[in-house]
Amino acid sequence: MHVVVTGGGGFLGSHLCDALLRRDDRVLCVDDFSTGNPENTAHLAGHPGFTFIRADVTDAFDVPGPVDAVAHLASPASPPDYHRRPLETLAVGSRGTENALRLAERHRARFVLASTSEVYGDPVVHPQREDYWGNVNPVGPRSVYDEAKRFAEALSTAYRRSLAVNVGIARIFNTYGPRMRPHDGRVVSTFIRQALDGEPLTIYGDGSQTRSFCYVDDLVRGIVSMIDSDLPGPVNLGNPSERTVRALAELVREATGSASGLDFRPLPVDDPARRRPVITRAQHQLGWFPLVTIEEGLRHTVEWFRSRHDRTPAERTAPEPVRR
Ligand code: NAD
Ligand code: UDP
């Protein structure tokens, strides 16, 4: 297959490029490196199946050659990133998604949207099934991301209904692994960096809020299955093993062997209290389920962070979340 991966220079996108190339697909990656990192795909330079185009997908774009599938991952994803780039986040979710959809339409290609569990907002229904409509504050600080993704889902669905584009929506739950930026502000990367630096782990609120953490290899397998299917979705992709943030801190301390203390900070505005995917749809319709336990996934991730430790002195201060 010829697959276009927008956001392929980012954390998930670069792993997706690797997975597609491993099975001999040809991959064309489009990224502006606004939150990605050229190092993520540096090992692919010179690979005969890999092409990179540096472009902002909010500008209309086309690509040379055939296109069988478009995987649209371009978007800031960590809360500090989308708080820092609110207008860009809305633009890439709306205009960027439409440009990617048009590309798929022109080439009669499969289109897979990287949506998010954030479409459920701070969910009042737990765990979350795909037929739950969510609880999103449209004017809160997270809305630039949540509403952009909800709009992207609506737009993708309209392209399916009105223009018969073969659209599939994947709702991705918190995913972690190698190539996360140590200073992206997300909880797993932050805790690991802090533990390796011997700093206290910053817990927002009392740490009783929950997330369900999926290892990147599992998640990417799910995205590849979505690319290969004709399922419209939405399909939840995530690991239903739910943990409190406090429990995650303990797991990271164990995985790193760190004696770091805990530093309790105020909870960011609208921080979802709990999150866990129901994945029966992915299990039944894609035959997908996660295989990697959090202990094993953290071991691989810590190993990778250790191998890069002290190589990123430029970005020392983690951005603070919005608290008002
Ligand atoms: P990331 O920030 O590492 O990757 C996003 C990539 O998109 C970056 O390389 C960035 O430079 C690129 N990008 C952003 N705006 C762009 C634009 N206008 N034009 C071209 N490229 C642009 O984040 P990630 O964790 O890899 O997330 C990838 C996708 O998966 C995002 O759409 C995100 O919303 C979604 N997602 C991720 C998670 C997660 O836990 N990692 C959870 C839910 C959804
Ligand atoms: N969090 C935390 N300390 C940090 C970073 C995040 O306690 O240094 C919390 C955050 O408040 C949230 C959870 O960890 O409750 C997951 O945060 P993340 O930004 O990774 O993902 P999201 O909130 O988008 O699910």
- Of the residues 16, 29, 34, 61, which should be mutated to test ligand 1's pocket, given the most ligand atoms within 8 Å of the CB? 34
> For tokens 């502006």, what's the residue?
32
Average pLDDT over residues 169-191: 98
**What pLDDT, on the 0 to 100 scale, is given for residue 310?**
63
CA of 259 to the centre of ligand 1 (A): 32
Do the domain assignments include residue 324?
no
Question: Ligand 1 within 6 A of 133 CB?
Answer: no
CA of 309 to the centre of ligand 2 (A): 22
Label residue 179 by pLDDT band (50, 70, 90): very high
pLDDT of 306 strictly over 70: yes
The domain that holds 27 is classified in CATH as 3.40.50.720
Do the domain assignments include residue 322?
no
How do beta strands 210-212 and 242-244 pair?
antiparallel
Structural element, H or E, at residue 244: strand 242-244
pLDDT of 317 strictly over 50: no
Average pLDDT over residues 292-303: 98
What is the distance between the alpha carbons of residues 163 and 185, in angstroms, rounded to a whole number? Answer: 39
Label residue 309 by pLDDT band (50, 70, 90): confident
Q: Report the amino acid identity of residue 165.
A: V
Burial group, residue 138, by CB count within 10 angstroms (0-12, 13-18, 19+): exposed
Residues 6+ apart with CB under 8 A from 32: 54, 55, 56, 57, 74
Average pLDDT over residues 192-202: 97
pLDDT of 318 strictly over 50: no
**What pLDDT, on the 0 to 100 scale, is given for residue 321?**
54
**What pLDDT, on the 0 to 100 scale, is given for residue 151?**
98
Do the domain assignments include residue 58?
yes
Q: 263 - beta bridge partners?
A: 202
What's the chain's average pLDDT? 95
Do the domain assignments include residue 109?
yes
Do the domain assignments include residue 323?
no
For residue 303, the enclosing domain spans 2-317
State pLDDT tens for residues 217-261.
Answer: 999 999 999 999 999 999 999 999 999 999 999 999 999 999 999
Confirm whether 132 is a catalytic residue. no
Do the domain assignments include residue 310?
yes
Residue with CA nearest ligand 1 atom 23: 77
Pick from 185, 180, 211: nearest CA to 83 = 185
**What pLDDT, on the 0 to 100 scale, is given for residue 322?**
53
Pick the catalytic residue from 82, 120, 145, 204. 145
Give me 157's structure tokens: 């669905």
Report the percentage of the chain scoring pLDDT > 90. Answer: 94
Do the domain assignments include residue 172?
yes
Do the domain assignments include residue 305?
yes
| Domain total in the chain | 1
pLDDT of 266 strictly over 60: yes
pLDDT of 193 strictly over 60: yes
Q: Report the amino acid identity of residue 62.
A: D
**What pLDDT, on the 0 to 100 scale, is given for residue 320?**
52
State pLDDT tens for residues 11-52.
Answer: 999 999 999 999 999 999 999 999 999 999 999 999 999 999
Q: Which atom belonging to ligand 1 lies closest to the Cα atom of 40? A: 9
Structural element, H or E, at residue 282: none
pLDDT of 180 strictly over 90: yes
Q: What is the 3-state secondary structure (H, E, C) of 47-111?
A: CCCEEEEECCCCCCCCCCCCCCEEEECCCCCCHHHHHHCHHHHHHHHHHHHHHHHHHHHHHCCEE
Residue with CA nearest ligand 1 atom 44: 116
Burial group, residue 167, by CB count within 10 angstroms (0-12, 13-18, 19+): buried
